[in-house]
Amino acid sequence: MSATQPAQPKVTEREARQVAEAAREQDWRKPSFAKELFLGRFRLDLIHPHPLPADEDVRRGEAFLARLRDFCEREIDGARIEREARIPDETVQGLKELGALGMKIDAKYGGLGLTQVYYNKALALVGSASPAIGALLSAHQSIGVPQPLKIFGTQEQKDNFLPRCATTAITAFLLTEPDVGSDPARLATTAVPDGDDYVLDGVKLWTTNGVVADLLVVMARVPKHEGGKGGITAFVVEADSPGITVEHRNAFMGLRGLENGVTRFHRVRVPANQRIGAEGAGLKIALTTLNTGRLSLPAMCVGAGKWCLKIAREWSGVREQWGRPVARHEAVGAKISFIAATTFALEAVVDLASQMADEDRNDIRIEAALAKLYGSEMACLMADELVQIRGGRGFETADSLAARGERAVPAEQMLRDLRINRIFEGSTEIMHLLIAREAVDAHLSVAGDLIDPDKDLADKAKAGARAAGFYARWLPKLATGAGQVPGTYREFHPRGHTDLSPHLRYVERSARKLARSTFYAMSRWQGRMETKQGFLGRIVDIGAELFAMSAACVRAEHLRASGDHGREAYQLADAFCRQSRLRVEELFGRLWANTDDLDRKVVAGVLSGTYAWLEQGVVDPSGDGPWIADATPGPSRHKNAHRPIR
């Protein structure tokens, strides 16, 4: 029996939050270093000693990295990709033959079976040769068909699709729509049951890999029907199915080789056995996939940081001003120090989170989200500083530099390419809210009913009793801790090395202060806490800095113990922690001394037109057309731009 296709859903703000809440993982079955950190508990034992990969994983991973490096150096022409705004087909074919499509897919399905650690190292390497190729491989394996099938697919689905994904089939993930971004409750694409099939109708926007994809993961709304509860549901869809049209290949300020488009579905039949998981489980599948999938972007940010450091070192040692290399001038030297220290810390964060993902002993949903948030923000800052260090040459394109006889350094391209990472897979603003929700989960678990307007007095009374017991035990523990005891963490002050133990004591003290600040805010604002996005963003940013400091210190000690540049690692960790502590202190100050209230008033004035006079004196070069393109379901009127690579 066929269900009736619904109109685009109209949802309230509260309904949208309920959809998002239902999709998140509700339980914490494994320990989480970052979750404990936000609760004021510095669980160094969860990350130190630094977890290590198995010897066989290292052997296989290093062997593949060697082959991939050779391929990058010989076969990838990043300048050509930038110039032609397209990855050459022969380059993609070479990646397929190398096995790069199956880095994370188990060997029994034809993949390489690399660990998360080596998958991320591979992305950093290939992304340094061409960020567009890094994006293609990441979108295919981190959020495309392989990862959700690995976690949620049936054995039949794995047997059917994973061998293709490992060797020949490029995949894409389709969630976003012209009028739906990070608010999936308004998802308009529908999948209507019809016999043994579902019939898909709708339009998807910003479909990374969608222009060249062979297989798609599509999120669509199934209406409630006889025999099914409906809801947002995930499907594997053949990209060449009748009724699918790639209507447009999008062009961007960066990642010019990105095969990203607009895809329309018109009466596309998808067999029911290609549904991933149950009806209504689509968003949970997407969020669970991203728990580790989010590590791919910061991995490529690590690669960007390493390249920025290399160019900064080489250039600033050659370029002279006022009788000395520019690196010797303090204003430039501070920028180089920031790039070096931040690259070290960011690699520490990504490697630690990746190894924790491989071991599967900890819940890393917050750690992965922090890595994505921190990596994308800091990489943009590093690239911007490199452009500044290079001066006019940093603003000049690589082709122009080469044309007049200088080294073709694509610094401005790096800045453009990295900018999207602050938006990809959850914008910085959305990541702040997502992480903040997880950070206050313990509070909402015991006291959520107290601030829920829909709960009656009886429920509030029960919540009050639970909260009283929880806070009676928890709050006293935030008063004192190991961070106030001189000599704590003495293993981080080995003979002849910089002393990192004060930084870890600072992290411990700051974690307790962070938890107290969160509690004070919840007591003050209660149900309005969710509207205090400025405050929540600063809370998360403090947590990100504390996590990065912890990871940097643990990595430095690991490198010292293994005899691998230990002295230099301690110096870099010390520099990073000192820089990070300055940022943390500023963020703590801005928790309570800020312009948030005034900003809201100014925004209200802007939206009401109060300040429209300020816009006078310019012309608007924007073209005509609607702000949001029409996405009404129906047949396509465009030529199909789908371009599978065979």
| Whole-number Cα distances in Å, 203 to 180, 261, 281, 390 | 10, 11, 20, 43
Cβ neighbors of 434 (< 8 A, separation 6 or more) are 369, 426
219 forms beta bridges with: 234
Alpha-carbon gap, residue 267 to 265, rounded angstroms: 6
244 forms beta bridges with: 265
- Asked if 372 and 296 count as a contact pair (C-beta separation under 8 A), the reply is no
197 forms beta bridges with: 194, 271
Backbone dihedral angles phi then psi of residue 223, each to the nearest 5 degrees: -70, 150
- Give the closest residue to 567 by CA, choosing from 487, 506, 499: 499
- Asked if 103 and 153 count as a contact pair (C-beta separation under 8 A), the reply is no
The verdict on whether 425 is a catalytic residue reads: yes
SS3 564: coil
Alpha-carbon gap, residue 328 to 335, rounded angstroms: 11
- Decide: residue 4, CB within 10 A, 0-12 exposed, 13-18 middle, 19+ buried: exposed
Residue type, 317: G
- Catalytic one among 396, 425, 508, 545? 425
270 forms beta bridges with: 198
- Give the closest residue to 218 by CA, choosing from 193, 195, 194, 201: 201
Q: Helix 131-138 and helix 116-129: axis angle, to 10°? A: 150
Alpha-carbon gap, residue 288 to 409, rounded angstroms: 39
Q: Is the dihedral of CA 494, 499, 502, 504 positive or negative?
A: negative
Buried b (16+ CB within 10 A) or exposed e, 225-259: beeeebbbbbbbbbbeeeebbbbbbeeeebbbbbb
SS3 92: helix
- Give the closest residue to 310 by CA, choosing from 391, 194, 389, 399: 389
Active site residues: 425
